Structure 1
Amino acid sequence: MKVKTILLAGGRGTRLAPLTLKRAKPAVPFAGKYRVIDFTLSNCVNSNLFDILVITQYRPHSLNEHIRNGRPWDLDRGFTGGVHLLHPFQGVKNTDWFSGTADAVLRNINFVRHGSPDLVLVLSGDHVYKMDYSHLIKYHCKTGADATLCTTRVPMEHACHYGIVKTNENQSITGFLEKPKKPPSNVASMGVYIFNYEALERVLSEDAIKDVEKLDFGRHLMPYMLEKGYSLFAYPFSGYWVDIGLIDSYWQAHMDLLLENPPMDLNDRRWVIHTRSEERPSTRVLQNAHIHNSLIANGVVISENAVVEDSVLSPGVFVGPGAQIRQSVILNDSVICQGSRINRCLIDKMVVAGRHSQIGRVEDRHDLGITCVGKNTHLTENLSVGRGVKLGTDLRAEDFNTFGNLIVPDNTSFRVDLSKY
């Protein structure tokens, strides 16, 4: 049984800005040493799937650099498969960008067809979870379905952000609603699909599908297949799964890793999450520093009298003397200067928080959300940034004069418009 895996990794991730202003969503760093896409790639190789097409589009440079030839995932193969990065291209007829998840597959159908696969597994590169796809494949073959999609239960208040699946008692799909305003249930599509290759190519070749603008699996292909009488089944997944497409969900996924019994164990040697790692020196912790319930990556320096609690520090982060970091995620090579206080924040790479600044003020008002600072922004000394603020990339001292008195009010967004990028 030949399986071709398609990993969709071209999303802009507008709701995750400013973390996605300079990178695709699957390339966003996660859990101190990984990228988000590492989890799906590792699921593939741990499931003995080694023939993988990664379809990119928006700002693919970080992904290209990270994946390269696929060696960390044992995907540096040739004749037997391996990983291949597919980018948008200009052909005789196709002159536009990919305009939907299914459109991206349709435009690369020649690459999908290569090797004559029996099944096509379609995955998203921006979800964090562990899953053995071999169980899904066996289930799909047993049901005799044309297509099978994975489902999970999400909080009812978030169900409007997902495709909602209706099934009968045998898990045969009887209805599919893409992001309904009033969801009838919380059984949501995970964006994980497996197709019989012949059925997938046949449905993608039909004029009624090819002519659809922004052709999407959830919004168009699955409802169309139901309407035309294709056999669709659901595969219920009960493990931990999170779509990190929102600032709050990205932050919460990190906090989940810090629980006493985390829902996803990164230390499980039976299911290793592989990644391309940088060479960094050992972590250094100076005298009287206090670290509690945190993930600290290589190359981090925590100075004297600093406090790090319930936080994730990525490689190369420097924490100055007396600085305090609580319930925050700090990405690579950021500098938290002396006396600064960081609370419920996401700090992107190479950010400098000036001395005695307060980012995400300490008032107990959790409803205001997570403060987020974009890549390579330098925050001035004594700057006070409120809860739920979004600051863009590459900001400097002169930019903060806009606010006066060095105070950025709660829930402000400043230079995070994706249309500029």
Structure 2
Amino acid sequence: MRKRGVLAVILGGGKGNRLYPLTKYRAKPAVPFGGKFRIIDIAISNCLNSGLDKIYILTQFNTESLHRHIYSTYRLGRFSNGFVDILAAQQTIENMDWYQGTADAVRQNLEYIKQIDAKYTIILSGDHLYRMDYNKFLETHIRNKADITIAVKPVSREDAPGFGILKTDRKNHIRDFIEKPGGDLLETACSPGLPEGTPFLASMGIYIFTTPVLVEILSADKRDDFGGHIIPASIKNYRVVAHPFGGYWRDIGTMASFFNANLELTSLKPPFTFYDENFPIYTRARSLPGSRIDNCSFKDTLLADGCFISNSIIKKSVIGIRTIISNNCELENCVVMGCDYYEKRSKNIPVALGIGPRCTIKNTIIDKNARIGKNVKILNSDKIQNADAENYYIRDGIVVIPKNTTIPDNTVI
């Protein structure tokens, strides 16, 4: 059922420095994930499955790829009053600045938000992996007559210093916000009624505002960030409530978390799955053939459509659309994003699209349209954690081959 009184605003993120070079040519929400999806598909699908069909996406960096994906995928049709629209940062007579933070991005678009005249506005992050029915979130907000409701995840003592921690009373009203607490400060951040193993409530960066309250707060407080500025200040003056979430949730805004979340999908029983017919994750429909496999060995592998793979061994890897892997290759712990197109073979092309014969590749992300030559070894044997080279990067010990990059024959990384 459509929720006519709710507007969803998805924050597209900043420059995406933590995911660079995957964000070299695209906005962070447009980064491919899980073989055939984009990160933005998660938040949009959660909205549509929850009956929210009025959705704004706020972006300002490398937006062309994201625009193309959104407008080719999410056409809600002439029989719906809903929309999925992008609000890119723009200079106006009133404001010559780009988005300075999450709150500033929403503030600069308050006129668009007010035009929708929705009673509630839900603000979402565009780089989280989770499945949530926002109706339950909204019910918590309405039942508690809240001005602001924040989705929270119970976390352990070991994990708490990596998050903004919200302290609640026994009625789930938020009384304090502590940014990444440690030491003695951590001991004061426990909330009542939680299990001993997870006594802290981490903010998920997902908020519901009663819309007039959102307009009032952002008009009065000109600071830039929700988590660092707006939420801590609002706790003192408004009714702010926590909505506990017990399901799978990951922030995939860093290279390590993005890589590990992809590899988790290769399990037969992954902690997060795209296969839920009652709550599907949508993406662009492609008319691709099934993948063709010849004399290969696969173990714990997620294989997308339109691939050609021959005489190779692939373990614990995600193989994206239109991936071509030639004879006698071995891949392990790899995320291969595939290609945007097929290429006719020609002697004039020194290195063809895809992965050439006799390559050994481990612990690597290969972005779209990469060309890996013959006899290439990508192993990071020296276990380098971070490095920048001419045609590859290393982040958190993971080798990253950027989009449209060529790795010559016989290269060893």
Q: TM-score range by the shorter chain?
A: 0.7 to 0.9
Contact 2:42 2:130 in 1 (8 A): yes
> What CA distance in whole angstroms lies between the structure 1 residues aligned with 2:158 and 2:79?
46
Change beyond 3 A, Cα 1:364–1:200: closer
Are 2:146 and 1:149 equivalent residues in the alignment?
no
Change beyond 3 A, Cα 1:283–1:69: closer
Query: Which aligned pairs between 1:9-408 and structure 2 lie closer than 5 A?
Result: 9-68=12-71, 70-71=73-74, 75-76=76-77, 80-154=81-155, 159-180=160-181, 184=186, 186-206=200-220, 209-210=221-222, 212=223, 215-227=224-236, 229-286=237-294, 288-304=295-311, 306-333=312-339, 335-361=354-380, 369-385=397-413
Contact 1:76 1:83 in 2 (8 A): no
Q: CA deviation at 1:77?
A: 5.3
Q: State the AA in 1 paired with 2:217.
A: V
Q: 3-state DSSP class of the match of 1:64?
A: helix
Contact 1:342 1:361 in 2 (8 A): no
Q: Once the two structures are superposed, what CA deviation does each residue of 1:366-393 show, in whole Å capped at 9, x if it has no partner?
A: 99722211111111222221xxxxxxxx
TM-score (norm 1): 0.84
Change beyond 3 A, Cα 1:368–1:147: closer
Change beyond 3 A, Cα 1:376–1:77: same
Q: CA deviation at 1:155?
A: 6.0
> What CA distance in whole angstroms lies between the structure 2 residues aligned with 1:78 and 1:162?
42
Change beyond 3 A, Cα 1:156–1:251: farther
Change beyond 3 A, Cα 1:176–1:20: same
Change beyond 3 A, Cα 1:153–1:343: farther
Q: State the AA in 2 paired with 1:15.
A: R
Farther-moved stretch of structure 1 (161-170 vs 335-344): 161-170
Q: CA deviation at 1:115?
A: 2.9
Contact 1:69 1:83 in 2 (8 A): no
TM-score (norm 2): 0.86
> What CA distance in whole angstroms lies between the structure 1 residues aligned with 2:154 and 2:319?
31
Farther-moved stretch of structure 1 (86-95 vs 130-139): 86-95
Q: CA deviation at 1:312?
A: 0.5
Q: 3-state DSSP class of the match of 1:68?
A: helix
Q: CA deviation at 1:160?
A: 4.1
> What CA distance in whole angstroms lies between the structure 2 residues aligned with 1:28 and 1:290?
28
Contact 1:77 1:83 in 2 (8 A): no
Structure 1 unmatched runs, 5+? 386-421
Q: CA deviation at 1:83?
A: 1.4
Q: CA deviation at 1:260?
A: 3.1
Q: Which residue of 2 aligns with 1:401?
A: none
Q: CA deviation at 1:350?
A: 1.2
Change beyond 3 A, Cα 1:204–1:365: closer
Q: CA deviation at 1:69?
A: 6.1
Q: CA deviation at 1:157?
A: 5.1
Contact 1:6 1:123 in 2 (8 A): yes
Q: 3-state DSSP class of the match of 1:67?
A: helix
Q: Percent identity?
A: 36
Contact 2:10 2:58 in 1 (8 A): yes
Farther-moved stretch of structure 1 (371-380 vs 40-49): 371-380
Q: CA deviation at 1:360?
A: 2.4
Contact 1:69 1:76 in 2 (8 A): no
Q: Once the two structures are superposed, what CA deviation does each residue of 1:120-146 show, in whole Å capped at 9, x if it has no partner?
A: 100111111110000000111001111
Q: 3-state DSSP class of the match of 2:217?
A: helix
Q: State the AA in 2 paired with 1:59.
A: N
> What CA distance in whole angstroms lies between the structure 2 residues aligned with 1:124 and 1:138?
20
Q: 3-state DSSP class of the match of 1:298?
A: coil
Contact 1:54 1:86 in 2 (8 A): yes
Q: CA deviation at 1:180?
A: 4.7
Change beyond 3 A, Cα 1:246–1:368: closer
> What CA distance in whole angstroms lies between the structure 1 residues aligned with 2:293 and 2:207?
46
Change beyond 3 A, Cα 1:69–1:326: closer
Farther-moved stretch of structure 1 (87-96 vs 177-186): 177-186
Q: State the AA in 1 paired with 2:116.
A: G
Farther-moved stretch of structure 1 (77-86 vs 139-148): 77-86
Q: CA deviation at 1:278?
A: 2.8
Change beyond 3 A, Cα 1:216–1:143: same
